Amino acid sequence: MTYLQAIILAIIEGVTEFLPISSTGHMVIASTFMGISRDTLTKNFEIVIQLGAILSVVVLYRRKFFTSFKFYLKLALAFIPAAVAGFLLGDHIDALLENAWVVVVTLFIGGIVLIFVDQWFKHASETEEQEVSWMQSFKIGCFQCIAMIPGVSRAGATIIGGMTVGLNRRTAAEFSFFLAVPTMLGASAKKLMGSYKTIQHHDIAILILGSLVAFVVALFAIKAFVGFLNKHGFKWFGYYRIVLSVTLAVVAYLMKIKM
């Protein structure tokens, strides 16, 4: 992976991490089309720069993030389902990441779901602040497990999960942002602990560069997404996912790109 490729992937991550369009799916597709091999560095890179983007949440929501100990307990409760699923299914998830066609299919299916989400949750359009309960936290955490399938979108799964359990769009989106912090910290630690012996000096520079770029880009993407979501809902993200998946399938077929 070159520095230019790292910057491109980091920009993609920063823009897409908080949108219901799957940041991992976009990075897998981008890596495939740029001819980046699915080696240890690439896999570590995709996880670590997600952490860089997620840390922008701590900066933007520092007043809410540093509130009470109960807030952290609720995040911990919501994190448990994904932690257990990741431990039990880690190898199967890594195998799915090797196949870009999985991303294409899940992008398409997820797009159809997003087109109808606004109709399903008309009651969730209000923007007043809500407090997330213990049970709501755990249920949202269960929805996050679905996002372990590449292309599903962690943000999309947890936001829709939040609205399913009675939260409005804004509260569901913000809790999704908060939940991403322990989730990506755990995923990054697991990945790096398993491969730290193989990391070279060049790799460290790539990881740091990617994390910084993703962090800066995500700072701007978060606020833009919340505003767009409150004004326009999910349907346009659904249309985007469908168009992207069909386009990728056609291009891959015509250009005989191995996915």
All structural domains of the chain with their residue ranges:
3-254
Q: Return the HEC string of 150-176.
A: CCCCHHHHHHHHHHHCCCCHHHHHHHH
Instruction: Pick the more confident residue, 34 or 195.
Output: 34
- pLDDT, the chain, mean: 85
Give yes or no for a contact between 218 and 56, defined as CB atoms under 8 angstroms apart: yes
Return the H-helix or E-strand segment holding 42: helix 40-60
The pLDDT score that the predictor gives to residue 97 is 67
Encode pLDDT of 73-115 as tens digits: 999 999 999 889 888 876 677 676 667 788 889 999 999 999 9
Cα 169 from Cα 94, distance rounded (Å): 31
**Residue 216 CB coordination number (10 Å):** 16
Angle between helices 169-195 and 201-232 (to 10 degrees): 170
Which pairs count as long-range contacts for 29-33, CB under 8 Å and 24+ apart, including other chains? Answer: 29/100, 29/103, 29/104, 29/248, 32/100, 32/257, 32/259, 33/257
pLDDT at site 120? 85
Total Cβ atoms within 10 A of residue 53? 29
> What was the pLDDT predicted at 65?
75
- Predicted confidence band at 196 (pLDDT cuts at 50, 70, 90)? low
Burial classification of residue 186, based on how many CB atoms lie within 10 Å of its CB (0-12 exposed, 13-18 middle, 19 or more buried): middle
Which residue is associated with the tokens 């999960």?
A: 161
- Residue 33, pLDDT above cutoff 80: yes
CA angle 187, 189, 49 (to 5 degrees): 65
When pLDDT is cut at 50, 70 and 90, the band that residue 6 belongs to is very high
How far apart (Å, rounded) are the C-alpha atoms in residues 85 and 187?
12
Least confident of 59-63, 82-86, 157-161, 196-200: 196-200
The confidence score (pLDDT) of residue 123 equals 66
Let me know the angle formed at the C-alpha of 182 by 177 and 186, rounded to the nearest 5 degrees: 135
Q: Answer yes or no: is pLDDT of 124 > 70.
A: no
Average pLDDT over residues 28-47: 82
**Separate counts of helices (H) and strands (E) for the chain:** 11, 0
- DSSP assignment of 64-83 equals HHSS-HHHHHHHHHHHHHHH
